[in-house]
Amino acid sequence: MINLPYIAVTILLLIGFYGLIFRDNIIKTVISVGILASAANLFLVSTGYRAEGITPIFTSVPEDMVMVFAVPQALVITAIVIGLAMTTLMLALVIRIYKEYGTLDTKEIRRLRG
């Protein structure tokens, strides 16, 4: 089994896009966007791995070990917090949609009223 993290990224992409295309509930759309963001973060972290490496911190580590790369981990910290802000704004919009239309089905909401 070569390149197992990259195959896991493709499986997560498949699950995210399936929930985005084939399901009608709005809450499932919000969850699928979160799964797609997790797939991107996993791919970004797994590009900076060296064989048998330890965390890049100098406090009380065993001697003569190679360290993993440090730049992709800093970029992923920023990307996770941006995903949190995106989920918050989407949930606020879902609250306003529910108060206006009374239902959470996207086939009913497609016909604009009022």
Partner 1 sequence: MRKKVGAVILILFFSFMLFGASEARDFGEPEYIDLDEHLIENAQEDTGANNVVTAVLYDYRSFDTLGEATVLFAAIASVMVVLRRMA
Partner 2 sequence: MKEMSTIVKSITSLMYIPILVFGMYIIIHGHILPGGGFQGGVIVATGVALVFIAYGTNKANQWFSSKAMFSLMSLAAVLYFIVKNIGGKRLSEFLLETEIFGPAPVGINPGFIDSGGVLGPLNILVGILVFAAVSYAIIVLSQMEAE
Query: What is the CB neighbour count within 10 angstroms for residue 59?
Result: 5
Dihedral, CA atoms, 12, 5, 38, 50, nearest 10 degrees? -170
Residue number with CB closer to partner 2 (3 or 88): 88
Residue 3 sits in the site that holds partner 2 (CB under 8 A) = no
27 binds, among partner 1, partner 2, none (CB under 5 to 8 A by kind): none
Q: What type of residue sits at position 104?
A: L
112 is an interface residue for partner 1 by CB under 8 A: no
Interface with partner 1, residue 15, by CB under 8 A: no
Contact status: 70 vs partner 2 (CB under 8 A): no
1 makes contact, choosing from partner 2, partner 1, none, with CB < 5 to 8 Å by partner type, with: none
